Amino acid sequence: MKETGPIWALGMMSGTSLDGVDAAMIRTDGVSIFEFGPHDYRPYTDGERAVLHAALGKWQGESGVAEAAEVVEAAHVELASRFSGAEVIGFHGQTLAHDPAHGRTHQAGNGALIARALRLPVVWDFRSADVAMGGQGAPLVPYFHHACAGWAGLDAPLAMLNLGGVGNISYVDPRLTDPQDHGAVLAFDTGPANAPMNDLMRARRGLAQDDGGALALIGTVDQGIVEAFLRHSYFSIMPPKSLDRNDFSQSFNVLGDLSDADAVATATAIAAASVAASMQHLPDVPSQILVAGGGRHNIAMMKMLVGKLRIPVHPIESINLNGDMLEAQAFGYLALRVMRGLATSGPSTTGAPVYVSGGLIGRPA
């Protein structure tokens, strides 16, 4: 692999929504984005998803974790085998547990095994080094978001919101050319997003998600539950800060007496209200909020965001980016930053006291 200049990287991401694996090619030098390439998606089967659900919240060595890792590795190898031309792969793995307060995070899947299977270098375990240095280990995509704003030619501060299992927001100022410049980037997790809705749909109706927000649209939001939820201490903590998928799981038990539609509508409203609450922590009012991740397909969610935020809210496709593949592209970009010794996180993104180039490199035997 070349030591300088742009190359093609394949980024792969399996989010906390547990829907499947995204993979996308990106041509980058680890600083700028030159081109976006092909992408693909491989859903988890119902059986695979059940194995992953059973391992949520568990750590290496606990029951079910090895089986979950095998599911993750097989799915990623299968999907990556559909691509050609990549010189490096960024493999995020499947987050099963995240506890930075106690210095640990767990993404299932061994990148060294994947490197041997695909005969390519694989950068993986992106979060552990940051957590070991005292950072939150999340979110990791803000430097990529800053590069995306530069690629799109934007010239005013904006926010990029990713609504996966957990929501995370990046405030970026593209007028500053280096994401490590003071004020260029601020990022943190906003709160629960799709995970509680998906879990409700799975438990009550045996479905993976509230497709398009159709059920939430006919439900009635319990505003008292939403207001009580926002009194959680997390929302007053100054960023950087991050969440595990299940950090708020007990808080959603109050939805148990609501109908299916009302419960999902209220969970959706909590996600939107969490984003609105996060605005207090941004350094300035962004010119717009660009939404990526599965949540932007949820019509109820997008309507609620527009209603709660007093700034323009658009799907990220409005600047010709692919909101379904953005995080996969991000880990291709981050993989090259790791290979070239560039920072992937720092004080304004994860709260690490120093800039960290986080990730292991698995090389084919």
> Structural domain boundaries of the chain?
7-138+325-362, 153-319
What DSSP designation does 213 have?
A: G
Are 196 and 252 spatial neighbours (Cβ–Cβ below 8 Å)? yes
Classify 193 as helix, strand or coil. coil
Rounded Cα distance between 213 and 346, Å, is 35
What DSSP designation does 356 have?
A: B
Fold classification of 7-138+325-362 (topology level): Nucleotidyltransferase; domain 5 (3.30.420)
pLDDT at site 290: 98
By CB atoms closer than 10 A (0-12, 13-18, 19+), residue 40 is middle
Rounded Cα distance between 264 and 196, Å, is 8
Rounded Cα distance between 166 and 236, Å, is 17
Fold: same for 7-138+325-362 and 153-319:
yes
pLDDT at site 3: 78
Rounded Cα distance between 314 and 330, Å, is 20
Rounded Cα distance between 1 and 115, Å, is 15
Classify 216 as helix, strand or coil. helix
CB atoms under 10 Å from CB of 217, counted, come to: 16
pLDDT tens column, 211-237: 999 999 999 999 999 999 999 999 999
Classify 11 as helix, strand or coil. strand
CB atoms under 10 Å from CB of 343, counted, come to: 18
Residues of the chain with pLDDT below 70 are 1
pLDDT tens column, 170-203: 999 999 999 999 999 999 999 999 999 999 999 9
pLDDT at site 114: 98
Q: What is the 3-state secondary structure (H, E, C) of 237-268?
A: CCCCCCCCCCCCHHHHHHHHHCCHHHHHHHHH
pLDDT at site 145: 97
Nearest of 343, 352, 355 to residue 133 by alpha carbon: 352
Q: With respect to CATH, is domain 153-319 assigned 3.30.420.40?
A: yes
Rounded Cα distance between 73 and 35, Å, is 27
In the chain, at which residue ranges do the beta strands (DSSP E only) sit?
Answer: 7-14, 20-28, 33-43, 88-99, 104-108, 122-124, 158-163, 166-172, 185-192, 289-292, 313-315, 360-362
What DSSP designation does 345 have?
A: B
Q: What backbone phi and psi angles, to 5 degrees, belong to 246?
A: -105, 10
pLDDT at site 365: 78
pLDDT at site 249: 82
pLDDT at site 237: 94
Task: Enter the tokens of residue 150.
Answer: 């530069």
Rounded Cα distance between 89 and 180, Å, is 24
